[in-house]
Amino acid sequence: DQQVKQNSPSLSVQEGRISILNCDYTNSMFDYFLWYKKYPAEGPTFLISISSIKDKNEDGRFTVFLNKSAKHLSLHIVPSQPGDSAVYFCAASMGANAGGTSYGKLTFGQGTILTVHP
Amino acid sequence: NAGVMQNPRHLVRRRGQEARLRCSPMKGHSHVYWYRQLPEEGLKFMVYLQKENIIDESGMPKERFSAEFPKEGPSILRIQQVVRGDSAAYFCASSPGGRYSNQPQHFGDGTRLSIL
């Protein structure tokens, strides 16, 4: 049961253009969403997050959009740079509003390999 | 990924041996999570611990795997009688915690476990 899905295994973008990475989820109890970037042989690095009470969060070149009705979120990177080339994972959790012990743990998508060409 | 320290970075074991993976959370973080990444897959949650307490172990295999986070010292993920299928990257993450606030988890660089 894949509760968080990234349907595009890979994405190739020209330097300077916009990169759009997509993520869908099925569990309506998720209320906190995160994007991580991962280089080979390293751990995931936190990029940006969004709470379900918002529909947009921006941090520099990174913007995350959340569409709760469609259970869809996306990460926009603009302008894209060659150093952005990495695997991007979206993740979801039942955050502050969840009961029991389910809060906190992250459910990850399978990842999207982003390649930014000079 | 400065802050969350995992060791060893690489661990090789023969089938039937024990593997011990250690994780020191970021300073000020009292919540620790362990995840496993099999080849070509995303990260899968294993266990969530606070000091001296296991909060959620729903992702842990029922046998051979155990985890602890003692009052003093690092969190330990222990795998007994390892099998080839245990070969994976094991990542630890930490967060400040707090039930009523959303905080991102920060990850270590992982331990790559290889079973011969």
Give per-residue pLDDT as tens, B14-68.
999 999 999 999 998 889 999 999 987 889 999 999 988 998 999 999 999 999 9
Looking at beta carbons, which residues of chain A come within 8 Å of B101?
A: 96
Judge whether B45 and B108 are in contact, CB under 8 Å: no
Choose the closest CB to A32 out of B43, B100, B102: B102
In the predicted model, what is the mean pLDDT of residues A71-82? Answer: 98
Looking at residue A72, its pLDDT comes to: 98
Checking if the pLDDT of A62 tops 60, the result is yes
Residue of A nearest to B5 (CA): A43
Tell me which of A109 and B2 has the higher pLDDT: A109
Q: How many CA atoms lie within 13 A of A40 on its CB side?
A: 5
Which residues, including other chains, have CB under 8 Å from residue B54's CB and lie 6 or more apart? Answer: B47, B48, B67, B68
Q: Are strands B19-24 and A10-14 parallel, antiparallel or unpaired?
A: unpaired
Report whether pLDDT(A101) > 90.
Answer: no
User: Is the CB of residue A12 less than 8 Å from the CB of residue A31?
Assistant: no
Could you report how far apart the first and last alpha carbons of chain B are, in Å? 29
Once rounded to an integer, what is the mean pLDDT over residues A88-106? 74
Residue B1 has a pLDDT of: 46
Three-state SS at B17: coil
CA neighbor of A33 nearest in space, from A1, A57, A12: A57
- Mean pLDDT on B77-86: 96
